[in-house]
Amino acid sequence: MIQYSLILIVNVSVADDRSKYQLTIRVGAYDNRPKIYTNESGQIEGLFPDILNEIAKKESWHLEYVHGSWSECLSRLEKNDIDIMVDVAFSKARAQRFIFNEETFLVNWATVYTSKDIRIHSLIDLKNKTIAVMKGSIHTDGDNGIKRLLYQFAIDCEFIEVDSYKDVLTCLSNRKADAGVVNRIFGTLFARLYGVKETSIIFNPSHIKFAFPKQSPIAKKVINRIDEHLSKMKDNPDSIYNKAMYVYLSGLPRELIFAKTTTNDHQNIILTHAEKEWIQNHPHISFGVDPEFAPFEYLNQRGELNGITFDYVSLMNQRLGLNMQVVKDLSWNIVMSKAKNKQIDVLPCVCVTKDRKKYLKFSDSYINFYRAIITRTDTPFLTGINDIEHMTVAVQENSSHKDYLLNQTTIKPIIYPTLRDALYATSNGKVQAFVGNIASAAYWIRKLNLVNLKIAAPTSQEAQTLHFAVRKDWPELVSIINKGLKSLTQQEEREIRKRWVNVDYKPGIDPGVVWQYIAQIVCAAGVVVLLFLLWNFRLKNEIRKRIQADKELNEANERLKKLDQLKSMFIASMSHELRTPLNSIIGFTGVILLGMTGPLNDKQKDHLTRVNNSAKHLLNLITDVIDISKIEAGRINVYPQDIKLSSIIDEAIIAIEPQLKSKNLTLQKNIPDDIQLHTDKKRLLQCLINYLSNAVKYTEKGSVTITTIKHDDKINISVTDTGIGIAKDDLPKLFNAFERLESHLKIKAGGTGLGLYLIRKLVTDILEGDVFVETQIGKGSTFGLIIPLSISLKNKKTK
C-alpha cells in the first residue's frame, strides 16, 4: 500500500513536469566507446546518447545522465534510481529484471577475425587452430558463445583467454593466435588498425534495446514514444539514427552526424508541446482558394490546385506535420462565406483587411504584390489612384481591393463576383478602370486575350502583402504556421517564385499566334510603363543606395588587397614551417631504418618504412602546392642558364633510375642531336622527372622512351610509355589540379594529383612553352612539352 501511494506521488510530480512541457529522465551513463562515453569536456556522447538526445529534443524531455560503471548502472536501474539504460542486450533472463522497449536499436553479434595470411572460410576451418577470446564474454562462454558452438560441431581447438577485445586483436597481429572473436562494432572499427581480416563467420546475434526499471511509472509512455521515433528514424535515410550509425560504425568524426544538409533545414522548427498536441488534435484542416487567382492559386483544367500558394501549403504540411486539404469546386464568394462560418479553416493566400480581421487571424506575410489600375489602351495616361476618382471602377467581390477602394478612397466601385468578370467589364467598356492584383490581372489579360487592356499605373508604390488566414478561434495554428514560414530559406522561396512566375501561360484555345504576340507585347508595354513609374518613385532612394554600394565596393577591394598580401606571406612562411618538422621525421626514421640505433624486427621495419614514405609523400605534396601557389601569385623566379639538352636528360634519368630498375622496365633514348639551351634548368628538369616517373608508375611491362625533336627555334621533348593509356574522354581534364583517373589507379600509383597541373603551369608560365599528350588505351601514352630554345624573359622576375 505504501509503495502504491509512492508511485502515485511520482505520477503527480510527473504530471506537474508535463505541464511545464518537460519530463526529466535519468539515463545511466558509462564508458563503452563508441556506443556511449564522456568526451573531453565532460559531455556524454556516442551512438546511443546522440540518438536519444534527438528523441528527447522532439519530445521536450530533459535527460539527466547519471555516471557509473556498467554493473553500477544496471543495479541502479533495478532499484529505479535511474529511468533508462541504453545498449542492453535483450535476453529472457534480463526481461525478468527489466522492461525492454519493442523496437530493436541495433542487432549486435560476434565476428571471427584472422590475421591477413590465414584462410578461414567456415567454422570447420577453425579445427586445431588457436583462437583468442575475451574472458567472461557472452560470445565466449554464453549459451550461443564460440566454445559451445564449436563443441556442438565437435571441432577441437585451443583458446587463449584475454581481458579485452583489444588484446584479442593484438594476439592476431603478433601471431599468438590464428583467429579471434570480437563483437561486430569493435571489429569494424579497429580491424584495419590491427591489420586483421574479417571472416564470414558470425554468430550469437543479440537485440540491443533500451531497458527500464520494472516499477517505473514513466516507462510505458517513454517506451511508446521511443519506439515510434526509432521506427520512423530507421525508415528515413537522412535521420540522425542512420547518420549516427554510419558515422560511428565507420569511425568517422562525430560532427558529420550533425552536418546540415539542405533537406533537413526544417529540423530547426521547434514546436512547443502545446503546439504538437494541437496538431495531433486537429488531423484535418480545410482550406479554400480563389480558383482564378493565378499565379498565386488556381485550379487547372484537371481541377488540381496549382500556383505559389500550393507550394507553400505543401511545404507547411510536410514540415509541420499538418494535414491541410483544399476544398474544391467553390467560387471565391462561397469560400469567403464558408470561412466566416468556420466551415473552412484556412485561406492560404489573402491580404489583411479591416473586415477580415473580424473573423480571421493572419500569419506573417510570405509574398508581396503590387496593386494596380487596369484600363483600356485608349484611356489617357494615368499617374495614380487620384486620376480615376471620377471614373467608374470595377473590383472583385470579397477582395482586399474592394475594402481598399471603399475605405481609403472616395471611389464607389462596381463589384463583380470574379476577377474575370471584372476584367471583361473593363474590356468591353461597361466600366472605365479595374483595380486589382497586378500579377493575377496580367495573367488573366493574357489568358483571356483582352488585348485592349493595359496596366495603367500602380495605386501606390507600397507593396501589398499576402498571408495565411486562419479562423479566429484557432490562434495556435497561426503561430505554428509562422514557425513553418520562418524555416523557409531564401533559396527555397526563390525557387517557388521562379517556378510560377516564369511559367508561360498559354491561352487554352489558340485564337491566333498574331494576337497572342500582340497581347504579350501590350502586356510587356504595360509592365514597362508601370516599372517606369515605380522607378521614378524610387530614383532618389536608388542614388543614395548606389553611393553607399560604391563605398562598400571600395572597402571590399581594399580588404581583398590585404588578403592577397596575407596569402603571399602565408605561403612564404608555410614553405619553411611545414617542411622543417617533416625533414626531422624523414631524417630520424631514416636513421632508425638503417639500423643505426639498433636492430629492428620485420614489422617495425615495415611500419617505419610506411612512416618514412608517408612523410616523403607529404613533403612532395607541400612542395607542389608551394610551387603552384608561387606561380599563380606570379612570385616564382626564373633562372635561365646555358645548358646542354643531353645533360638535363641524363640528370632526369638518374633521378628515376631506382624506380625503373625495381619495375624491370627498359629506357630508350632517341636524341638525334645535342642542342644548347638557354632555359631554367631546374624547372625543365622538374617537368622531365615528373613525366618520367608518371610513365614508370603507370607501366607494368615494356619500355619508356624519351625523344627530342628540334623545330627551328623550338625543342619538343616527349616521354612515351607502353602502359595502360588514357580514355579519350578523360584527356581534357588531365592537366587540371587534383585529377587522377580511375580510382584503382589512384590507390596503386600514389602521387599527389598535382603533378601534371604543376608541369603545365611550369611549362606555360616559366618555360614559355606548351604541353601535349597523345594516348591509346591499353597501348600507352606520350606526354611532351614544346619550349623555345631560349627563354625571352618577358614580364618575368629574374635574379
Query: Cα angle vertex 654, ends 649, 660, to 5°?
Result: 105
CB of 561 to other proteins, least distance (A): 25
CB of 771 to other proteins, least distance (A): 22
Q: What is the CA radius of gyration of the chain?
A: 38
Other CB atoms closer than 10 Å to residue 752's CB: what's the count?
18
CB of 613 to other proteins, least distance (A): 13
Q: Which is nearer to other proteins, 251 or 581 (CB)?
A: 581
Q: Which is nearer to other proteins, 218 or 677 (CB)?
A: 677
CB of 600 to other proteins, least distance (A): 14
Q: Which amino acid is at 1?
A: M
CB of 585 to other proteins, least distance (A): 9
Q: Which is nearer to other proteins, 541 or 604 (CB)?
A: 604
Backbone angles phi, psi at 234, to 5 degrees: -60, -35
CB 102 within 8 A of CB 227: yes
Q: Which is nearer to other proteins, 591 or 793 (CB)?
A: 591
Tell me the C-alpha distance between 120 and 201, whole Å: 9
CB of 650 to other proteins, least distance (A): 18
Q: Which is nearer to other proteins, 121 or 799 (CB)?
A: 799
Helix H segments across 239-301? 240-249, 255-258, 273-281
CB of 682 to other proteins, least distance (A): 6
Q: Which is nearer to other proteins, 586 or 649 (CB)?
A: 586
Bridge partners (DSSP) of residue 509 are none
Q: Which is nearer to other proteins, 587 or 750 (CB)?
A: 587
Cell numbers for 145, please give them: 558463445
Q: Which is nearer to other proteins, 9 or 591 (CB)?
A: 591
Q: Which is nearer to other proteins, 506 or 799 (CB)?
A: 799
CB of 574 to other proteins, least distance (A): 10
CB of 73 to other proteins, least distance (A): 48
Give the Å distances, CA to CA, from 774 to 737, 780, 782.
19, 9, 5
CB of 731 to other proteins, least distance (A): 32
Other CB atoms closer than 10 Å to residue 300's CB: what's the count?
11
Burial 182-205 (b: 16+ CB within 10 A, else e): bbbbbbbbbbeebebbebebebbe
**Four-CA torsion 70, 73, 78, 81, nearest 10 degrees:** 180
Tell me the C-alpha distance between 239 and 234, whole Å: 7
Cα 283 to its chain centre, rounded Å, is: 32
CB of 594 to other proteins, least distance (A): 6
End-to-end CA distance of the chain: 98
Q: Which is nearer to other proteins, 278 or 588 (CB)?
A: 588
Q: Which of 298, 451, 435 is nearest to 369 (CA)?
A: 435
Q: Which is nearer to other proteins, 461 or 798 (CB)?
A: 798
CB of 638 to other proteins, least distance (A): 9
CB of 584 to other proteins, least distance (A): 4
CB of 271 to other proteins, least distance (A): 59
Q: Which is nearer to other proteins, 507 or 590 (CB)?
A: 590
Q: Which is nearer to other proteins, 534 or 572 (CB)?
A: 572
DSSP run (H or E) holding 469: strand 464-471
Give the Å distances, CA to CA, from 472 to 297, 342, 465, 476, 653.
22, 9, 19, 10, 86
CB of 653 to other proteins, least distance (A): 18
Q: Which is nearer to other proteins, 157 or 622 (CB)?
A: 622
DSSP run (H or E) holding 590: helix 513-593
CB 474 within 8 A of CB 360: no
CB of 702 to other proteins, least distance (A): 30
Tell me the C-alpha distance between 685 and 677, whole Å: 13
Three-state helix/strand/coil letters over 489-544: CHHHHHHHHHHHHCCCCCCCCCCCHHHHHHHHHHHHHHHHHHHHHHHHHHHHHHHH
Tell me the C-alpha distance between 243 and 559, whole Å: 40
CB of 544 to other proteins, least distance (A): 51
Backbone angles phi, psi at 468, to 5 degrees: -75, 135
Query: Cα angle vertex 791, ends 785, 795, to 5°?
Result: 110
Binding residues (CB under 8 A) for other proteins: these are: 575-576, 579-584, 586-588, 590-591, 594, 596, 616, 619, 623, 626, 637, 639, 682, 799
Residues 6 or more apart whose CB falls under 8 angstroms from that of 227 comprise 101, 102, 103
In the chain, DSSP finds a helix count (H) and a strand count (E) of: 26, 31
Cell numbers for 233, please give them: 528514424
Tell me the C-alpha distance between 286 and 49, whole Å: 40
Q: HSE on the CB side for 165, CA within 13 Å?
A: 21
CB of 590 to other proteins, least distance (A): 4
Residue spans of beta strands (DSSP E) within 7-165: 23-29, 37-38, 44-45, 61-67, 84-89, 98-100, 106-115, 130-134, 158-162
CB 83 within 8 A of CB 222: yes
Q: Which is nearer to other proteins, 160 or 600 (CB)?
A: 600
Q: Which is nearer to other proteins, 379 or 589 (CB)?
A: 589
Query: Cα angle vertex 486, ends 55, 545, to 5°?
Result: 145
Tell me the C-alpha distance between 102 and 230, whole Å: 10
Q: Which is nearer to other proteins, 147 or 678 (CB)?
A: 678
Q: Which is nearer to other proteins, 421 or 651 (CB)?
A: 651
